[in-house]
Amino acid sequence: MSDHFIGIDVGTGSARAGVFDRTGNLLATARRDIDMHRAGVIAEQSGDQVWDAVCAATRQAVSQAGIRPDSVRGIGFDATCSLVVRGVDGTALPVGDPDRPERDIIVWMDHRAVEQAERINAQGHDVLRYVGGRISPEMETPKLLWLKENRPDIYHAAGHFFDLTDFLTWKATGSLARSTCTVTCKWTYLAHEGRWDPEYFHGIGLGDLALDGFARIGTEVVEPGTALGKGLTPEAARQMALDPGIAVGAGLIDAHAGGIGTVGAQGGGGDPTRCLGYVFGTSSCTMTTTTKPAFVPGVWGPYFSAMVPGAWLNEGGQSVAGAAIDHLVTLHPAHAEAKARAEAAAMSLPAWLADTALDRAGAASDAVMLAGQVHVVPEFLGNRAPFADPQARAVIAGQDVETGLDGLIALYVAGICGLGYGLRQIIETQAMNGAPVDSIAISGGAGQHPLIRQILADATGLPVEATECAEPVLLGSAILGAVAAGSFDDIHSAMPVMTRVQDRYVPVQGRVRRLQDARFEAFLTLQRTAREIRQKTAEAILT
């Protein structure tokens, strides 16, 4: 009987499960949607609903794979970097409306803690060196501080503050161990020193966590893929229709699982330190692996053992990526017509736009010509990297009075190019600070179309590699389960066996290269001008 492994991914809007064999072949996937409450900068979810969705997706995936449940040897989890608040007895505690106690998750994209993040950054603590010099409101300590200041009863009643990934492994195994990935990347844990910094927590107003010995945020921290507890508990096994005792590995943040599922692929460069992992979904994340710590202004990290154990990681990205394109195209008068055409073709609107642009251009690299004079800096929800500026906003320049599909296609292509230029900006900033790369390994649902992959290659000037597995994030989590089960000694040895490069998109030269370079300079000019305008108007208001 063959061994099988399950990768479970909890994204912003759904929980997904994938069943893999030992060589990384995907046998089946299933998904369940997750509700989200949105109100301005607020974004909340229910941990119980997330867990129910995880179990339902797992049951369906195993059934569709046609495998025996007792062939499953390991399970791995990844999730968004969202904050889960639970009572001493493990029950959900409301993070917002007290009449909605089931909403115990502050979602990663929630920006309620912008003011708390600014106050933390103003103090200049040494731990901030490991988050690019500035902490983000998307990270957990600003959110914890917001909770303490605005919902003190909930904060003090909490027995556990989890990153969502660690919440899932706790539900699966009962283990309170945290992953070095989650607490190092989002909570300021100093993995290279194996400790929390009490001075930081006292300084920002969360000293009670230090006085408790950090029991509420994690006293046991282990590397991704470490086998947790006694494996799957009887209760979790019943809910998943699996056998108790299956190995469960310490998890990863979703983007980092995509990195594990791509950067060490067979047929690629063979060196994870020369390949940037780019997860292109609702938001985007960049993961760069180095053997020595590289301090990059505005880029999170360096984090030790946060993705590849024993190596350092720098993490950048864009606060909105796929979501930026989704929003951008709604601003054009032809949006309704295009949406109707996409629905008639049984396609998503982004896929229909990509197909249409490719048909009109004839070649993917030539699609940049369709953008004409339209330029987009797609920072609708701030700049995550390299400026760590949550107040930044988008810029759209060069639009005319065109109301038909031609204008919409121009706007769409300009938006994709804008994401590519933001990625190039991150790559160049990292290279100047000791973290160069030679290629980009892409994953994520928003980056699957060949047009998008080629535009990103042309916009950055680096080859873009796509792996054979259509679900590299799920594969990354399955790799954790395989390592936890002992099928591989470590993540390093598992990656080239379970992942393989299928397609490579090489940047073209000539006039396309010259045009992409010119548009990149325009991107930088618009981005810089927007910051200057914001600064001048703010000064005018204050004087």
Domain boundaries, the chain: 4-252, 269-468+509-543
4-252 and 269-468+509-543 share one CATH topology? yes
Q: In this predicted structure, what is the pLDDT of residue 270? A: 62
Q: Which of 398, 405, 413, 417 is nearest to 332 (CA)?
A: 405
What does the alpha-carbon distance between residue 133 and residue 141 come to, in Å, rounded to a whole number? 15
Q: Which of 26, 6, 24, 19 is nearest to 266 (CA)?
A: 24
Does 386 sit behind a cis peptide bond, omega within 30 degrees of 0 on the bond before it? yes
Q: In this predicted structure, what is the pLDDT of residue 264? A: 85
Name the residue with tokens 């000293």.
Answer: 207
DSSP-assigned beta bridge partners for residue 466: 442, 503
Give the type of residue at 62: V
**Distance from CA of residue 471 to its chain's centroid?**
14
Sign for the pseudo-dihedral over CA of 7, 9, 15, 18: negative
User: 269-468+509-543 — its CATH code?
Assistant: 3.30.420.40
Neighbours of 8 (CB within 10 A): 32
Q: Which of 254, 259, 165 is nearest to 218 (CA)?
A: 165
150 Cβ neighbours under 8 A, 6+ residues apart: none
Contact assessment for residue 226 and residue 249, using Cβ atoms and an 8 Å cutoff:
yes
Q: In this predicted structure, what is the pLDDT of residue 272? A: 85
Name the residue with tokens 């045009």.
Answer: 515
Residues of the chain with pLDDT under 70: 1, 268-270
CA angle 274, 132, 196 (to 5 degrees): 105
Q: Which of 182, 170, 253 is nearest to 221 (CA)?
A: 182
Q: In this predicted structure, what is the pLDDT of residue 268? A: 67
Please tell me the pTM assigned to this model.
0.87
**Is 3.30.930.10 the CATH number for 4-252?**
no
Q: Which of 530, 540, 323 is nearest to 445 (CA)?
A: 323
